[in-house]
Amino acid sequence: LLNNNQIKRITRKAFEDLENLQYLYLYKNEIHIIERQAFKGLISLEQLYIHFNNIETLEPETFSNLPKLERLFLHNNKLSRIPAGTFSHLESLKRLRLDSNALVCDCDLIWLSELMKEYGNSGNTQAAATCEYPRRLQGRSVAAVTAEEFNCERPRITSEPQGVDVTPGNTVYFTCRAEGNPKPEIIWLHNNHALDMKDDTRLNLLEDGTLMIQDTRETDQGTYQCMAKNVAGEAKTQGVELRYFGSPTKPSFVIQPQNTEVLVGASITLECSATGHPQPRITWTNGTGDLLSNSRYTITTSGGLYIQNVTLDDHGQFVCHASNNQDSIQASANIIVQAPPWLTVTPRDQVVIEGHTVDFDCAAEGNPPPIIAWTKAGSQLPNDRRHAVLSSGTLRIVHVAQHDQGQYECQAVSVIGVRGVPVQLTVQANVLPVFTHVPNDITVLVGEDVQIPCSAQGEPQPIITWSKDGVQITESGKFHVNSEGMLTVRDVGQAEQGRYECIARNALGLSASSMLLTVTVPEGRRAGDNFVEPSILDAIQRVDSAINSTRRDLFDKRPRTPSDLLALFRYPRDPFTVEIARAGEIFEQTLQLIQEHVRQGLTVDLNGTDFRYNDLVSPHYLSLIANLSGCTAHRRLLNCSNICFHQKYRTHDGTCNNLQNPMWGASLIAFQRILKPVYENGFSLPRGVSQDRLYNGHPLPMPRLISTTIVGTETITPDDRYTHMVMQWGQFLDHDLDQTVPALSMSRFSDGQSCSSACTNDPPCFPIMIPENDPRVRNARCMFFVRSSPVCGSGMTSLLMSSVYPREQINHLTSYIDASNVYGSSEVESEQLRNLTNQHGLLKRGILWPLSGKYLLPYATGPPTECMRDENESSIPCFLAGDHRANEQLGLTAMHTLWYREHNRIATELLKLNPHWDGDTIYHEARKIVGAQMQHITYQHWLPKILGDHGMKMMGEYKGYNPNVNSGIINAFATAAFRFGHTLINPILYRLNETFDEIPEGHIPLHKAFFSPFRIIQEGGIDPLLRGLFGVAGKMRVPSQLLNLELTEKLFSVAHLVALDLAAINIQRGRDHGVPPYVDYRVFCNLSSVQDFEEFKNEIKNPDVRERLKR
């Protein structure tokens, strides 16, 4: 212990004989000089403290021969510069302190920065050193200063040597010049070995860096490289050859390629050099003998193979060939490409409720393949059975507890490196909902808007729903529940009076609080009250007259025109549906007649000021209209009391499937909306009715013009991945989900004239106008089209009649994937399909198809139908199935037949297994299995092909049943989005035999497959059709090839009459339903707002398609 003295100098070998000394403390002296080898002989020294002295300089070998030194403290001295390599021999060093000196952080000190970074990466040595000069770096850690901040300049070659041919005794000059800061040292390499000028007096390094070789000999031949080196780095020239010519010689390698490891993305040179006379030519091949043609491969002037931006494909053997006219030789080497780990699946932060299971997905790739390791807060995972790392790399924690909360890290580990990503697990405690604001009783005037606040807290956060008089309230023009739980009732009428209940639910339970809403009606009459009774009588007469005329035309004779076929195809057969549609038509027609009487326009901006229909008709008279039109009479009174049934089976009409919201997803209710409808008058008129109405400065283009200009295509591109069954399953699925109830009349209510001949927008007619110079239609002004029936009173179906809201349409089917296309969407339909003559639970069967020994569908009974339109073809009627559209085209009919057979097959097997079951039990159990099969096919096999991997990931895994999700079909989905399937339809239905060749009757154009069940009976059954669906490529969706001409020019074609156009019908139906424009949905989906078609270039990449849209 020599500290705290006045020592000024440490002389050479001052401690030479103290070979066992372990600690030497010299701090707080006045030392300013330490001579070279002052500490020589201290081979056991572990700690050397020389801080708080006046040391200004150190010799390069001051601390050499101290093999066990662990601590070296030099802080608080006056060191400004430290020679390079001063600490390089201290192999045991664990701590080095150089802070609080006067270090000048210039290029001469960059070596210390690199050394400290090495210490930091290894984790074995802690080092501290700070810059004092220049002032801009003052206080910075030396390790944190970048090479650029040291103001160093790496060497750069300014003049390179050239190859040379020599004979014995010549003098050769290889020129090399370089610049850098500090000035670089020039070193010459011969065949990758540094030349030592002292060993051979023939070699001289001139002051400017030139290498002079005198009296050349054969041993001088080979590759020469100039290397310029300073503390900032080094630079090499390309190798150049000194070729020595004596007598002809065979090639021999001067440098052979060596096995090399390299990281992905780096560049590498496999050196190869040969000598011989004549000079050998160098070529390279891969391990299979193929010449290297990739632009990343370059052969250097010396013969080496330079590979730029190495990829995993470069992993393998490379062969260097050297040849001249004397011989050919080769040498090989392997490149081992190593890739650091990279994450292919990145885990995400998760919030989970206490007691649940959570998965953090994590996966990685690399070469060599990495392993996945997980840590929590930097430590190993708890050693218990609740934490497990699956073979996929996923971390699974079961029965999550509060103490599991925290930060986890997924680490992909290999010998090349480690890649980690942190994630946060937040654990929510379980807390039942507790109200923070309960609703209070309110009294309001009729016609006012009212807001009823309600909010709650809990863990997980509760969801707020409302019910009125025990019936769940759904979002509509009348009611709105915001994210905080506040209920808004707009334009309050007497029907809104009653008791409302606010319900807060989470996974643990629910809490409820109720209030009473009282509505008072002021005295006085409205402008249209005097016209209610005559208008409703007139409306009933007009609607019934038009409906009766339509029914006579459709059902008392064979269909004669494409419009007859379309009308029959869409016309509802269920009496209950007919009555609901009739009531809606009468209700709307009555209001239109009252408006005419009042002589006021009906212009409404539903995005701004609401139109108050109470100002037109008093609530009392609106109720009268509802009663007289039949709307009130057809409200459904639900009875979900048979819990034993509802807990096991679905109802046919979808009611009571969701016991908390029994009408959600049921048949014969309004489609749902995610955006408000867009009508020309804000209430009911479709956009495009008024020819002079402009949108964005232009009239809406005619649907038929859009079809012929953009949609219709004669060119079809076969899909290279999927068959035509993708289309057919989509149509079959659609017929399980939605069908819009059409207008019951095909004639105008005003005068009874048929909509197929009257080209005016007179309800329910909404004709598709034919543009001038149409490529096909020349002798007609319009195509047949009638509007869909409105919901009674429009807006809501369970709580309505005291106010009127924009027109909504009715979904005839249940919204569930429940095989309603096999079993029907009502009890009446299901009983027509069942075989009730025994207790076997079967569906009715038709004739036996002899070739397969299987039964076809039964025939439908009743008047002539669309399947009997041409007596010259066949008098065979339509088949009977759960959806009356089953006969639309033969592929669809084949699918209906297949699934009817599947029900009977399952029912037969169930009866064998359970002979004690009655017919109802067998029927419902088989129906449940069939529905599950359809769900499985849809979600596991069909949707992934439609949405792709990205779309399926966005949809996410199924998390369990949620009664708060409304299963109703969105209007825009049924009317627009799901009709994308029309772009998948081939113009030909292929029919294949057992060897997948064409059957004798041939394939069939689509327009001849409409309503043609006789072709199944007379031309081979359903098997050839099914083989054609799964054995032939589907139609690829190409932006310039949308709907084939069979659909746009030959739909439901009949000789000498105008065929319909499916594309134009789709566009017209969207306007009929008030579907908002595409730009509105972009905003709703948080996409950018667009002003012109060029802004669609990311979505519509084909400029020709964008140009056609502009026209």
| pLDDT tens for each residue of 814-841 | 999 999 999 999 898 999 999 999 999 9
| Among 304, 337, 370, residue at a domain's last position | 337
979 in a structural domain: no
The CATH number that applies at residue 27 is 3.80.10.10
Is residue 64 scored above 60 in pLDDT?
yes
| Among 302, 337, 372, residue at a domain's last position | 337
Q: What is the structure's pLDDT at 161?
A: 94
Is residue 613 scored above 80 in pLDDT?
no
277 Cβ contact list (under 8 Å, min separation 6): 245, 246, 247, 248, 249, 324, 326
Question: What integer is the mean pLDDT of 652-671?
Answer: 90
Element (H, E) at 929: helix 919-936
How confident is the prediction for the chain on average, in pLDDT? 85
Is residue 894 scored above 50 in pLDDT?
yes
Is residue 871 scored above 80 in pLDDT?
no
Q: Alpha carbon of 303 to those of 223, 243, 248, 657, 1066: distances in Å?
A: 10, 13, 20, 78, 68
Q: Point out the catalytic residue in the list 735, 812, 884, 903.
A: 735
| 107 and 64 belong to one structural domain | yes
| 166 and 65 belong to one structural domain | no
Question: What integer is the mean pLDDT of 487-505?
Answer: 83
pLDDT tens per residue across span 82-101: 998 888 889 899 999 999 99
Is residue 347 scored above 90 in pLDDT?
yes
439 in a structural domain: yes
1074 in a structural domain: no
Name the phi and psi angles at 569, rounded to 5. -60, -40
Number of domains comprising the chain: 4
Hey, what are 575's tokens? 């009496």
Hey, what are 86's tokens? 């001063």
Is residue 1083 scored above 60 in pLDDT?
yes
pLDDT tens per residue across span 974-997: 999 999 999 999 999 999 999 999
**Minimum mean pLDDT among 217-221, 257-261, 445-449, 1034-1038: which range?**
445-449
| Residue 1027 · residue 730 · CB < 8 Å | no
pLDDT tens per residue across span 690-738: 888 888 788 899 999 999 998 988 888 999 999 999 999 999 999 999 9
39 in a structural domain: yes
Looking at the chain, the whole-number percentage of residues with pLDDT higher than 90 is: 48
- Concatenate the DSSP letters of all residues of 729-794 into one string: HHHHHHHHH--BPBPS-SB-TTT--BTTT--S--TTB--EEPPTT-SS--S-SEE--BPBPBPTTS
DSSP 634: G
Q: What is the structure's pLDDT at 863?
A: 59
**Minimum mean pLDDT among 178-192, 615-629, 772-786, 912-926: which range?**
615-629
Other CB atoms within a 10 A radius of the CB of residue 122 amount to 8
Looking at the chain, the whole-number percentage of residues with pLDDT higher than 70 is: 87
Question: What integer is the mean pLDDT of 987-1012?
Answer: 92
Question: What integer is the mean pLDDT of 272-277?
Answer: 88
Q: What is the structure's pLDDT at 781?
A: 87
Is residue 478 scored above 60 in pLDDT?
yes
Hey, what are 831's tokens? 């009983």
| 166 and 302 belong to one structural domain | yes
Question: What integer is the mean pLDDT of 286-305?
Answer: 88
| Reported confidence tier of residue 59, pLDDT bands at 50, 70, 90 | confident
Q: What is the structure's pLDDT at 524?
A: 57
Hey, what are 590's tokens? 């009555």
Question: What integer is the mean pLDDT of 289-308?
Answer: 89
Task: Report d(CA 1025, CA 1036) in Å as an integer.
Answer: 20
Q: What is the structure's pLDDT at 1058?
A: 57
Q: What is the structure's pLDDT at 1088?
A: 67
Q: What is the structure's pLDDT at 637?
A: 64
| Residue 813 · residue 820 · CB < 8 Å | yes
Q: What angle do CA 551, 740, 683 make, to 5 degrees?
A: 100
Torsion, Cα 393 394 397 398, to 10 degrees, reads: -110
Q: Which residues share a beta bridge with 213?
A: 172, 203
The CATH number that applies at residue 211 is 2.60.40.10
Question: What integer is the mean pLDDT of 569-591?
Answer: 69
| 314 and 451 belong to one structural domain | no
| 215 and 304 belong to one structural domain | yes
Question: What integer is the mean pLDDT of 869-889?
Answer: 80
Which residue type does 868 have? Answer: M
| Reported confidence tier of residue 602, pLDDT bands at 50, 70, 90 | very low
pLDDT tens per residue across span 139-153: 999 999 887 788 888
For residue 453, say if its preceding peptide bond is cis, omega within 30 degrees of 0. no
Q: What is the structure's pLDDT at 801?
A: 40
977 in a structural domain: no
What b/e readout covers 432-442, taking b as 16+ CB neighbours within 10 angstroms?
bbebeeebeeb
Q: What is the structure's pLDDT at 601?
A: 37
| Among 275, 310, 337, residue at a domain's last position | 337
| 419 and 438 belong to one structural domain | no
Q: What is the structure's pLDDT at 549?
A: 74
Is residue 1008 scored above 70 in pLDDT?
yes
814 in a structural domain: no
Q: What is the structure's pLDDT at 495?
A: 64
| 316 and 185 belong to one structural domain | yes
Q: What is the structure's pLDDT at 459?
A: 77
Q: What is the structure's pLDDT at 605?
A: 36
Is residue 170 scored above 70 in pLDDT?
yes
Of 650, 963, 663, nearest in space to 819 by CA: 650
541 in a structural domain: no
For residues 53 and 805, the model is more confident at 53
For residues 757 and 525, the model is more confident at 757
Of 51, 3, 59, nearest in space to 35 by CA: 59
Measured in residues, the chain has a length of 1111
| 171 and 308 belong to one structural domain | yes
85 in a structural domain: yes
| 472 and 411 belong to one structural domain | no
Task: Print the domain residue range for 24.
Answer: 1-151
The question of whether 735 is a catalytic residue gets the answer: yes
For residue 134, say if its preceding peptide bond is cis, omega within 30 degrees of 0. yes
| 172 and 312 belong to one structural domain | yes
**Minimum mean pLDDT among 68-72, 864-868, 888-892, 1021-1025: which range?**
864-868
Question: What integer is the mean pLDDT of 119-142?
Answer: 90
Question: What integer is the mean pLDDT of 674-679?
Answer: 79
| 27 and 75 belong to one structural domain | yes
Is residue 1100 scored above 60 in pLDDT?
yes
Q: Is 982 annotated as a binding residue?
A: yes
Q: What is the pTM (predicted TM-score) of this model?
A: 0.54
pLDDT tens per residue across span 392-443: 999 999 999 989 999 999 999 998 889 999 999 998 887 888 999 999 999 9
Task: Report d(CA 743, CA 1059) in Å as an integer.
Answer: 21
| 189 and 310 belong to one structural domain | yes
- Where does residue 9 fall: left (phi above 0), alpha (psi -120 to 50 degrees), or beta otherwise? beta
